[in-house]
């Protein structure tokens, strides 16, 4: 099963079960363990996943992490679980506990989750110190396609600690840049307007407060115009992609059925004494199933029309297509003489 399919199944699971999960333990069993399993880790194999993992910290003995995912007998990901109705998943409320976990294990990543939302943390800002903000948040009930790719990097098949950590840093900085861009879009700052004026060269000389104020609306309108172009391009691309997908689907609608192949086998058996049956081939299309000699459409022996409830066999007679109904595949045997005659006719034309 593809990874995206597993995640979509988990999404459906959260939608149907979440309201009935009254405890943290129920949340673990119904949602979080299946999530770990979807990442490719065997939750019942203590060499891969340890529940209630003990992380001793100084005088704090017996500190437990809900789950530790292992690689080469060392924890690589620690998972702290909360009840499904814990919507906030506030790291500050669990910070002391999580920081202790992080400081005494080899794990480079910690996940805080309620079974629906998964918050990924690491030490991107200061080495050895758990960041206060997650670098990645995955919501099973509301995710984008590109987030699937990020999540898959933490699966057993794809996990590479150096690559994952490098990408985690990128994600964190991208998120911050995005926030800056969004804020500038909603309310352009003086510094940003000054940058645009300088970069575009619309004003010579000193850029005064009056000039900046004058160009605030200009900046907002420019942003809106740019976003309109982006949205139009995105819409055009989406429509183009849908049309292309539709056309490809139409091209690929041909499905060779078992009945067609059985009919082909019957006809080959009828012609075994008339022609080398290795020369008998077929070409399927959306309307009918062609049976040919030498894979040549000009050497059509007959056609099987099996795409409707009433099945037919057809062949060319006196320049016209003769179509006869079939009640079952066994009816094909009654046309043995006609089919042999058709093959001999094609072979005779070939000799000439």
Task: Say if residues 324 and 335 touch (Cβ distance below 8 Å).
Answer: yes
- Backbone torsion region of residue 255, taken as left when φ is above 0, otherwise alpha when ψ lies between -120 and 50, otherwise beta: beta
125-146 residue pLDDT tens: 888 888 888 999 999 999 988 8
Contacts 24+ apart (CB under 8 A), 188-192: 188/216, 188/219, 188/220, 188/223, 192/219
Select the more confidently predicted residue: 113 or 126: 113
Calpha distance 34→48 (Å, rounded): 14
Calpha distance 257→238 (Å, rounded): 33
Which two three-digit tokens encode residue 243? 């049309």
pTM above 0.85, yes or no: no
Q: Per-residue DSSP letters for 85-112?
A: T--S--HHHHHHHHHHHHHHSS--EEEE
Q: How high is the pLDDT of residue 94?
A: 62
Task: Say if residues 91 and 110 touch (Cβ distance below 8 Å).
Answer: no
Calpha distance 290→300 (Å, rounded): 7
Judged against a pLDDT cut of 60, whether residue 352 lies above it is answered with no
Calpha distance 286→147 (Å, rounded): 38
Judged against a pLDDT cut of 80, whether residue 96 lies above it is answered with no
Calpha distance 4→16 (Å, rounded): 19
Q: What is the average pLDDT across 39-44?
A: 94
Rounding to the nearest 10 degrees, give the CA dihedral for residues 120, 126, 132, 133.
Answer: -50
Task: Say if residues 244 and 278 touch (Cβ distance below 8 Å).
Answer: no
Residue 113 burial class via C-beta count within 10 angstroms: exposed 0-12, middle 13-18, buried 19 and up = buried
Q: How high is the pLDDT of residue 252?
A: 53
Nearest to 301 by CA among 281, 323, 287, 319: 281
Which two three-digit tokens encode residue 126? 């200061």
Confidence of residue 59 (pLDDT cuts 50, 70, 90): very low
What mean pLDDT is reported for the chain? 85
257-282 residue pLDDT tens: 888 998 999 999 899 889 998 899 99
Task: Say if residues 112 and 98 touch (Cβ distance below 8 Å).
Answer: yes
Integer Rg of the chain from CA: 33
Calpha distance 301→283 (Å, rounded): 12
Residue 140 burial class via C-beta count within 10 angstroms: exposed 0-12, middle 13-18, buried 19 and up = buried
Calpha distance 20→193 (Å, rounded): 52
């Amino acid at each position: 099963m593809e990874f995206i399919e597993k995640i979509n199944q988990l999404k459906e699971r959260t939608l149907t079960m979440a309201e009935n999960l009254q405890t943290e333990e129920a949340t673990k069993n119904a949602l979080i363990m299946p999530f770990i399993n979807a990442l490719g880790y065997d939750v019942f194999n203590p060499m891969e996943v340890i529940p209630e993992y003990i992380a001793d910290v100084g005088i704090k003995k017996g500190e437990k992490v809900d789950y530790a995912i292992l690689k080469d007998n060392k924890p690589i990901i620690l998972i702290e679980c909360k009840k499904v109705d814990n919507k906030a998943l506030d790291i500050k409320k669990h910070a002391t506990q999580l920081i202790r976990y992080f400081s005494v294990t080899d794990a480079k990543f910690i996940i805080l989750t309620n079974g629906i939302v998964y918050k990924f943390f690491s030490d991107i800002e200061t080495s050895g110190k758990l960041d206060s903000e997650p670098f990645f948040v995955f919501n099973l009930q509301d995710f984008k396609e590109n987030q699937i790719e990020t999540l898959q990097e933490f699966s057993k098949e794809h996990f590479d600690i150096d690559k994952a950590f490098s990408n985690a840093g990128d994600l964190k900085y991208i998120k911050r840049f995005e926030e800056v861009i969004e804020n500038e879009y909603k309310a352009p700052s003086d510094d940003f307007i000054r940058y645009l004026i300088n970069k575009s060269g619309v004003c010579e000389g000193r850029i005064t407060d009056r000039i900046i104020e004058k160009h605030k609306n200009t900046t907002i309108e420019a942003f809106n115009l740019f976003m309109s172009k982006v949205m139009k391009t995105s819409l055009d691309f989406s429509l183009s992609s849908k049309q292309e997908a539709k056309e490809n689907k139409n091209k690929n609608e041909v499905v060779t059925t078992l009945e067609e192949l059985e009919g082909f086998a019957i006809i080959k058996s009828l012609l075994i004494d008339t022609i080398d049956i290795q020369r008998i081939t077929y070409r399927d299309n959306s309307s009918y199933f062609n049976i040919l000699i030498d894979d040549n459409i000009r050497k059509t022996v007959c056609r099987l029309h099996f795409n409707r409830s009433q099945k037919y066999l057809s062949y060319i007679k006196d320049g016209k297509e003769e179509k006869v109904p079939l009640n079952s595949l066994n009816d094909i045997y009654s046309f043995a003489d006609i089919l042999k005659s058709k093959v001999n006719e094609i072979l005779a034309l070939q000799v000439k």
